[in-house]
Amino acid sequence: MPLSEHEQRLLDQLEQQLHAEDPKFASSLGSDPARLLSTRHIVIGVLVAIAGVLILLMGVAWQFIPLGVAGFVVMGAGVYFATLRRGALRSSGGSAGRGGKSKSSFMSSLEERWDQRRRGE
């Protein structure tokens, strides 16, 4: 069911306000999770995982358990690196340094708009 023009305008206003008050959070909400995967990380991770499989197979073929375990660890690290998202590499400064006032003003604004909408119906 499509939104009415009034609801679409309210949604656009909320989106603009969110981008103005907390752009980092807004960009994390608005971006597609698939786009956060880096192609470079996927390629490097797959290559490392393949190297880990080869090391694991060499350890099994030579019946040398520590080499097989090392290959398994390398393979796991490659898969982990391939699935690592771009945002996870950056230090998460987050909004801990921000005061609670911006969040409360955002929430109070949402509550006020909700009340206005409920009174209008």
Q: What is the pLDDT of residues 80-104, one digit of tens each?
A: 998 887 655 554 444 444 444 455 6
Query: Tokens 């929430």 appear where?
Result: 107
Assign 33 a pLDDT band (cuts: 50, 70, 90). low
Side chain identity at residue 15, one-letter code = E
Tokens representing 83 are 């699935």
Average pLDDT, the chain: 78
CA 40, chain centre distance (Å): 17
